[in-house]
Chain A
Amino acid sequence: MIGIFQTYWQALLYSDGYRMTGLAMTLWLLVISCGIGFCLALPLAVLRNARSPLLWFPVWLYTFLFRGTPLYVQLLLIYTGIYGLSFIHNTPPFNEFFRQGLNCTILSFALNTGAYTTEIFAGAIKETAHGEVDAGLAMGMSRYTLYRRIIIPSALRRALPAYSNEVILMLHATTLAFTATVPDILKVTNDAYSATYDPFDCFGLAALIYLCVSFGLIFLFRRAERRFLAYLRP
């Protein structure tokens, strides 16, 4: 395993000399897709709890579609399916965007994690204690202020444990990236495998790296939970 790491460490950690690969690529995929997913989920979670079906139904449909189908299928649809449409080919900005495997991967990862995150946040918003809302209304807050100052901060705090799971699952989901030719950790260890035919060491090395990243994420989320959920501690 050490021998493989010595030969492939550069490609495994950050670059094969021509483009970003390995750990750097995996982390980039994770950060950008979770970032976009988060920004998408916040307004959608509010809409998901709206009274008017015109508002909540489209959001429900989006989360239903993206949580009801495997991420792998979504990635294939976006990478292969969409680029196969002649309309996309003939529109230069779309053609440019979907030509790159990395763009397609980020798009499908962000939409997928966005759907799950929306449901997590929507659930937390729904569970906001009535007292908090009543107190805000009693203070004469407008709906917007109420959401901004009371409901969303309180919901995000309570969603933290569930959200940390989603981020870690997303890290594991990044192993699909090579389907769209994005050279992540697994692609490099696959290369090492086809060069050495030593499956245990190659994939063991991949597992170790993912384990370290998962551990780092868990550590960060525990720190955040201690800070933001301090008021819930006994």
Chain B
Amino acid sequence: MKQIFAPAFAALCALGVVAAPVAAHAKAFTEIKFGVDATYPPFESLSPSGDFQGFDIDLGKAICAQLKVKCVFVSQGFDGIIPALQARKFDAILSSMTVTPERAKQINFSSEMYNEPTSLIEKKGAGLQPTAESLKGKTVGVEAGTIQETYAKTYWQPQGVNVVSYPGQDQVYADLLSGRLDASLQDSVEASYGFLKTPKGADYAFGGNVTYDPKDVLGSYIAIGVRKDEPELLKKIDEAIAAIHANGTYKKIEAQYFNFDVYGATPAAQ
């Protein structure tokens, strides 16, 4: 048996080696497949009819239009989105991904798409500030695996703040509502759209943006992620981002979603 299979297997391997580069070249940018975790309004979510929608999606469509290629969106959970990119399920990640040194080891990032500060939310009138002194002895919820979790564990937990990690952001809000948490730490835009602007969040408010970050754990900005072996695609995306800024498309899309400058917003800005 082994003797029969060995040559057949060798032949299959050889075929694979020959076929792979051909397949890679045949693509040649007629379409870009974006991997999206569509659970993060207003950036990316699914409309009731099942279409992808949101700020990221509109920017992606503008980039595709600029490059005159077809845009395809592929649904993918955020925690597995980098492995899925590596496994070639899609060509780029368009999912509110913040650039961090750890992630940059795995994949390349485009130039800045936008930026959102990290902020604290709390019950109205609680008067908490996003600093270790103000939160000492309080319980703060974060989503596990986010840069906000790293931030709270790096700066706050050693100072006596009780930091609790949750499997998902929904559970953080649920426990903020139930009273288990005194405050929660997350992206400001997410907090605004995902919670504060919903009926449930009526009694809650921003406690301020995080400004102190000497170890730079919050990373820099949000960008499109591309595999390291595709510098060509990265260059095209960078050019397209520059172009939609230059021709005013970016401002137009931004105005549909935000009443502030989401491109210029740095973590330091209030």
Contacts and interface: CB of A to CB of B under 8 A. Distances in A.
Contact of B79 (A80, A181, A194, A196): A194
Contacts of A191: 144-145
Interface in B13-67: none
A18 B174 CA distance: 24
A195 interface: yes
A215 interface: no
Interface in B47-104: 79-80, 82-83, 102-103
A191 B171 CA distance: 17
A199 interface: yes
A84 B106 CA distance: 42
Interface stretch (B128-136, B162-170, B188-196): B162-170
Interface in B134-190: 144-145, 157, 164-167, 171, 174-175, 178-180
B165 A181 contact: yes
Nearest to B165: A181
Interface string A93-109: 00000010100000000
Given A179-B167, A181-B164, A197 B180 contact: no
Contact of A190 (B83, B145, B179): B145
**Residue of A99, A194, A197 contacting most chain B CB atoms (<10 Å):** A197
A178 interface: yes
A83 interface: yes
B167 A178 contact: yes
Determine which residue in A178, A190, A194 has the highest number of CB atoms from chain B within 10 A of its CB, and name it: A194
Interface residues of B, number: 20
Nearest to B180: A99
A157 interface: no
Contacts of A181: 164-166, 171, 175
Contacts of B80: 199
Interface residue tally of chain A, by bracket?
20 to 34
A187 B102 contact: no
Interface hub of B79, B164, B180 (most chain A Cβ within 10 A): B180
Q: Is the interface of B mostly helix, strand, loop or mixed?
A: helix
Nearest to B161: A18
A80 B179 CA distance: 11
A197 B83 contact: yes
A187 B144 contact: yes
A163 to B, nearest CB: 31
Given A18-B157, A191-B144, A194-B144, A84 B166 contact: no
Contacts of A84: 178
B175 to A, nearest CB: 8
Contacts of B157: 18
A37 to B, nearest CB: 25
A67 interface: no
Interface string A59-95: 0000000000000000000001001100001000000
Contacts of A187: 144, 165
B79 A193 contact: yes
A114 interface: no
A84 B82 CA distance: 36
Contacts of A22: none
Residue among A18, A80, A178, A181 with max Cβ neighbours from chain B (10 Å): A181
A103 to B, nearest CB: 12
B155 to A, nearest CB: 14
Q: Which of B79, B171, B178 has the most CB of A within 10 A?
A: B178
Give the interface centre of A18, A101, A179 by most chain B CB atoms within 10 Å. Answer: A18
A38 B94 CA distance: 51
Contacts of A80: 174, 178
Nearest to B150: A195
Nearest to A183: B165
Contact of B179 (A18, A89, A101): A89
A194 B143 CA distance: 11
A80 B166 CA distance: 13
Interface in A29-59: none
Contacts of A83: 178-180
6 contacts: A101-B164, A181-B171, A181-B175, A194-B144, A197-B82, A197-B83
Given A190-B145, A194-B144, 17 more contacts: A80-B174, A83-B179, A83-B180, A89-B179, A101-B164, A101-B180, A178-B144, A178-B167, A179-B167, A181-B165, A181-B166, A183-B165, A194-B79, A197-B82, A197-B106, A199-B80, A199-B83
